[in-house]
Amino acid sequence: MHIDLLDPGPFGRNDFWAALTWLRANDPVHWHPEPGAGDKGFWVLGKHRDVVRVYADSDTFSSAQGMRLGSDPAAVSAVAQRMLIVSDAPHHTRLKRALHQAFGPQQMPRLEGLVTRVVGELVAEAAEVEELDFIDLAKQLPNRVVCAMMGIPRADWAWIGALTTDAFDSPDETVRSNAHSEIFLYFMELLAERRARPGDDLVSQIAHDTLVDEGDGTERPLSDEEIVFNCNGVLSGANETTRYSAAGAVHMFAELPGQWELLRSLGPAGIAPAVEEILRWTTPGVHALRTAVRDTEVNGTRIAAGDRVTLWNASANRDEDVFTDPHAFRVDRRPNRHVAFGHGRHLCLGARLARFELGALLTEMLGSLDGFELTGPALFNSSNFTWGIRSLPVRLLRSRVSAPRERAAL
């Protein structure tokens, strides 16, 4: 079978799954050449056990040399060891411990209240129309939440959301680079303002109340560069996962209305497993890149120091050895050991917030909608990194009598 995971076409057509299935069965540690690059290429790992093993072995597999195919080496070098997603221990451990304070259990009541308010506003706005492109609602949920968390002026929210999409989803490297630069400049200005006039937002908290343990008994504030780079990371992580997972969920509920009815019948207790299945099914973070720092072996295949190794989360989440009937969308699936947020030290910092956003959206929609009807084809973006639905025309099927809503415990 011809395999080309660098070709954007199959991702735009949503037909790349067959290639991943074939690789799991026939070549689970696959050498993927890069056309026109001589002997240059990368390893493709698609089995759940191999993906989890490499995620967990951060001593052998480095993130500091880039975390996606197609990265600009100069851009990676500029942020390495100062941005969570492109850092290794001990820098990664210290940074994550410091930044986790902003997403820890003590912060969740405030964040949950914010999410609940934003979801209520969005669903109320959607109630005024019968048909819409659901991605317009889906992308506003995480963008409004993260912008409000950071104290970004409301007038800038739409612009920030568009920049984030360009920075991580554009097929054009120049567009991606320029968008990242715009975001960095914006946060430099915002940080200067928060240093002078702190508030109760995330940027103020990181700038004034967050200290990094240096490992020698001393602590230091985060540098301006660390704050700006990681605000950019929070912005992208918060936006992309929830957007694509929410749209992917509605797509499946429209195609499989029985799953919506099953979820309704399960009540609040069904929300948490449904969220996990939505994350497994959609897997917006399709792959992650690591670089071997020493000679090693994966599943019997020799990996040389310096080799690039790609971890295909989308493939691991359909692994027949881990998931029963993996190509079926089942909201009551248990257990569900997906890797949609990665694994190990690099487990996504905003995973808990993304789960709550999806759960709150499902809860709100279950209280007012009988389901969804597609009014046009679902369109997908053409990225092998951050992937999902970019357009989903739907008709909202409204309940004659809205059921009383209960908040699910997530």
Each domain of the chain, given as residue ranges in start order, spans 8-398
pLDDT at 251: 98
- What's 199's DSSP letter? -
d(CA 7, CA 160): 28
pLDDT at res. 78? 64
How confident is the model over 211-253, as pLDDT tens digits? 777 777 787 777 888 888 777 777 776 677 899 999 999 999 9
Fold for the domain defined by 8-398: Cytochrome p450 (1.10.630)
**What does pLDDT average to over the chain?**
87
Average pLDDT over residues 56-62: 93
What tokens appear for 313 in the block?
A: 């989360």
Q: What is the pLDDT of residues 62-103, one digit of tens each?
A: 988 888 888 767 666 666 665 666 677 766 666 666 666 666
Confidence of residue 331 (pLDDT cuts 50, 70, 90): very high
Among residues 260, 251, 254, the alpha carbon closest in space to that of 403 is found at 260
Q: Which whole number is the average pLDDT over 374-389?
A: 95
Q: What mean pLDDT is predicted for residues 392-409?
A: 66
Q: Note the pLDDT of residue 402.
A: 47
Residue 151 φ/ψ region, left for φ over 0, alpha for ψ in the -120 to 50 degree band, beta for the rest = left
Give me the helices (H) in 62-155, please: 73-79, 91-100, 108-126, 134-150
227: exposed, middle or buried (Cβ count in 10 Å: 0-12, 13-18, 19+): buried
Q: How confident is the model at residue 400 (pLDDT cuts 50, 70, 90)?
A: low
**Contact, 164 vs 146, CB < 8 A?**
no
Give the other-Cβ count within 10 Å of 279's Cβ. Answer: 26
| Tens digits of residue pLDDT in 175-209 | 888 888 898 899 899 999 998 999 888 888 888 87
The arithmetic mean of pLDDT across residues 378-383, rounded, is 95
Position 406 confidence tier, pLDDT thresholds 50, 70, 90: very low
The size of the chain, in residues, is 410
205-217: burial string, b at 16+ Cβ within 10 Å, e else: bbbeebebeeeee
Cα separations (Å) of 6 from 3, 16, 27, 224? 9, 11, 17, 35
Residue 5: predicted pLDDT = 97
CA angle at 100 for the pair 98 and 104, rounded to the nearest 5° = 135
Whole-number percent of the chain with pLDDT over 70: 89
User: Would the pLDDT of 404 be above 60?
Assistant: no
Q: Beta 211-213 vs 379-380: how paired, if at all?
A: unpaired
Q: Does 124 have pLDDT greater than 80?
A: yes
- Please give the share of the chain, as a percent, with pLDDT higher than 90: 54
